């Protein structure tokens, strides 16, 4: 019996050691980013390197918050990402409702298309988009970015949302029909309210795609006041000398929204996805 307990203890210690080694691989680069963001730029490559800055300063952050151009990067990113999220959710909820609750001749074709569309490489679309966006007068505008982002957020959102609606029993719809309500009522009064957990997770996923997008933001915008955070970080790299502390500060600020969403999302996701409708 004691031998067994000892064995279990050793196994536990072994797993813990492996987990710690793994978290060094995953976490050290991130710690280094945070630590560098608080260093004076002259200490970035100090020898030997120190994880905990000898001199800690907020200079990197201060230069970002006091520069309207850099604040604008963040405002642009928030605006574009939030708009894309709301529009994607709206369009995806409508489409998913049709996919989940109706049989119609084009359904299979559309379904295959939506799955297939995820595989279309952004680089393939970039050249015609450039032509199209210039033609429509949307070059260097928010609308141009928002529309193009939706092409990449919609398929996944529709697939996830359809899956979620499929888990909701059809008896709920019948109840509304008996009461004389149409499909529009069913969707907005019944399905949407109980799908909030699913909608939240789709929304977060969409927000992340939009927040992280790089290629189209690089090509379809031109002036510095239309740039988003990912491009802004790269623009810092191009300027005169490398202001590493400032770039790291911007990176830290750049991942805060996703980090916050994720912390929130984890709780929501686990509770929400399975515990569904009938309880309500």
Partner 1 sequence: MSVGTTVTEPTARSAGKRSQISGKLAPYGYVSPTVILMVVLMLIPIVMVLGYSLMDNVIMKQNPQFVGFAHYVDILTSDSFHGAVWNTLLFTGASVIAHLVIGLIFALLLNTDLLGNRTKALFRMIYILPWLFTVAIIAILWRLLLAPNGVVNYLLTASHLIGSQIAWLAEPQYALFAVTFINIWSGYPFYMTSLLAGLQGIPTDLFEAAKVDGANPLQRFVFITLPQLRPIVISMALLDFIWTTQQFALIWMTTGGGPLNTTEMLSTFTYKLAFSRYQFASASASAAIVLAISLVLAIFYVRAQKARD
Q: How far is the CB of 65 from partner 1 (least distance, A)?
A: 18
182 lies in the binding site for partner 1 (CB under 8 A): yes
> What's the number of CA atoms in the CB half-sphere (13 Å) around residue 265?
17
Token pair 């031998």: residue? 3
CA atoms within 13 A on the CB side of 257: 19
Count of residues interacting with partner 1 (CB under 8 A):
97
User: Could you say which residues in the range 196-215 bind partner 1, by CB under 8 A?
Assistant: 211-212, 214-215
Minimum CB separation of residue 62 from partner 1 in Å reads: 19
Stretch that binds partner 1, among 32-40, 54-62, 63-71, 197-205 (CB under 8 A): 32-40
Q: Which two tokens stand for residue 69?
A: 């151009």
User: What would the two tokens of residue 29 be?
Assistant: 């680069």
Check if the beta carbon of residue 157 is closer than 8 Å to that of residue 86: no
In this chain, which of 58, 62, 75, 115 binds partner 1, going by CB under 8 A? 115
Select from 58-66, 196-204, 231-239 the region that touches partner 1 (CB under 8 A): 231-239
| Residue 32 near partner 1 by CB under 8 A | yes
Among 36, 162, 206, 221, binds partner 1 (CB under 8 A): 36
Q: Contact between 12 and partner 1 (CB under 8 A)?
A: yes
230 binds partner 1 (CB under 8 A): yes
181 binds partner 1 (CB under 8 A): yes
Q: Which long-range contacts (CB under 8 A, 24 or more apart) does 119-125 make?
A: 122/152, 122/215, 122/216, 123/215, 125/151
Which parts of the chain fold into alpha helices (H)?
2-37, 59-65, 68-101, 107-117, 122-135, 142-167, 171-178, 183-185, 192-194, 196-212, 215-220, 229-238, 244-274
The residues near 125 (Cβ < 8 Å, ≥ 6 apart) are: 148, 151
Q: Is 15 in the site for partner 1 (CB under 8 A)?
A: yes
Asked whether position 234 contacts partner 1 by CB under 8 A, the answer is yes
List the interface residues with partner 1, window 48-107 (CB under 8 A). Answer: 48-49, 90-92, 94-95, 97-99, 101-102, 104, 106-107
């Amino acid at each position: 019996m004691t031998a067994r307990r000892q064995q279990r203890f050793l196994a536990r210690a072994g797993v813990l050691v492996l987990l710690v080694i793994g978290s060094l691989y995953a976490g050290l680069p991130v710690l280094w980013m945070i630590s560098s963001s608080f260093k004076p730029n002259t200490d970035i490559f100090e020898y030997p390197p120190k994880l905990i800055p000898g001199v800690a300063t907020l200079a990197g952050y201060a230069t970002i918050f006091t520069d309207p151009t850099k604040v604008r990067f963040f405002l642009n990113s928030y605006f574009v990402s939030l708009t894309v999220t709301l529009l994607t959710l709206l369009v995806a909820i409508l489409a998913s409702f049709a996919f989940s609750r109706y049989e119609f001749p084009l359904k299979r074709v559309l379904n295959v298309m939506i799955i297939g569309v995820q595989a279309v490489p952004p680089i393939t679309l970039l050249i015609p988009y450039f032509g199209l966006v210039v033609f429509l007068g949307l070059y260097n505008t928010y609308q141009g970015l928002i529309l193009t982002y939706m092409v990449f957020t919609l398929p996944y959102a529709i697939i996830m949302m359809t899956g979620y609606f499929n888990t909701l029993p059809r008896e709920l719809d019948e109840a509304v029909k008996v009461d004389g309500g149409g499909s529009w009522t069913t969707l907005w009064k019944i399905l949407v309210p109980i799908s909030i957990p699913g909608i939240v997770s789709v929304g977060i996923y969409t927000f992340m795609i939009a927040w992280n997008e790089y290629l189209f933001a690089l090509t379809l915008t031109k002036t510095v006041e239309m740039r988003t955070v990912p491009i802004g970080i790269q623009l810092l790299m191009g300027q005169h000398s490398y202001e590493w502390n400032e770039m790291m500060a911007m990176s830290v600020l750049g991942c805060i929204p996703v980090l916050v969403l994720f912390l929130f999302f984890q709780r929501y996701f686990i509770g929400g996805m399975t515990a569904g409708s009938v309880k309500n």
